[in-house]
Amino acid sequence: MTRTTTTIPARSAAAFDLHAGDTICIRSPFGHQVADFFAFNAQDPSEYLSARHSLVSSTRHLYPRAGQTFLTSLRRPILKFVEDGANERHEMLLAACDAARYALLGVEGHHASCAENLQNVMAERGIIVTEIPQPLNLFSSTRAEPDGTIVTHPNASEPGDFATFLALMDCIVVVSACPFDVETQFPVNVGGPHPIEVEL
């Protein structure tokens, strides 16, 4: 089967249709850039990849790791993380950025966000997303310290880092090239935002 590579421009998102058995590879061509990763049951998008349900009933680990199976909000297998080419720099600790986060950081006027990107690409399919699921934050250097404090270290992901997932049910995967660019103590994306590539 021919595979196609899609470039998601910086600050934007794209949706991909996967059948059970398909693999999808998310790649960071420039590094230092977070990709927010969401997935929904293609038949009923009210069922979605749930980081928290996965943590309880499958992964039992704070961070996404190769070999883990992720579950939906109904605790059914949706995707397996099959290959990690990013030295385990992923997390699911931080909510997707949204308009309110940028307003809290002092941004005036509109600022693109992963939440809005998700809603826009799903709306193009006629699917209204009101609750933003906890994303898998791929290529992120945010970590929980031993005392429980959450620290966003400067994004250390490297050019060419990738993560590959296997679909375990027909699903819609949404990938957002995180638009975070506010000068703060949160170096989510370093030197970016940058585009993200998806191979399907």
Judged by beta carbon, residue 36 or residue 197, the one nearer Zn ion is: 36
Asked whether position 26 contacts Zn ion by CB under 5 A, the answer is no
Asked whether position 49 contacts Zn ion by CB under 5 A, the answer is no
Asked whether position 97 contacts Zn ion by CB under 5 A, the answer is yes
CA distances from residue 126 to 18, 45, 119, 137 in whole angstroms, order as listed:
18, 11, 10, 25
CA distances from residue 118 to 56, 60, 74, 102 in whole angstroms, order as listed:
25, 27, 21, 16
Asked whether position 121 contacts Zn ion by CB under 5 A, the answer is no
Residue-wise burial string across 170-189, b where 16 or more C-beta atoms lie within 10 A, e elsewhere: ebbbbbbbbbbbeeeebbbb
Mark the segment that binds Zn ion (CB under 5 A) among 10-18, 44-52, 145-153, 171-179: 171-179
Name the β-bridge partners of 7: 197
Asked whether position 114 contacts Zn ion by CB under 5 A, the answer is yes
Asked whether position 178 contacts Zn ion by CB under 5 A, the answer is yes
Instruction: Report strand pairing: 13-18 vs 77-85.
Output: unpaired
Asked whether position 174 contacts Zn ion by CB under 5 A, the answer is no
Compute the least distance from the CB of residue 147 to Zn ion, in Å: 26
Binding interface with Zn ion (CB under 5 A): 97, 114, 178
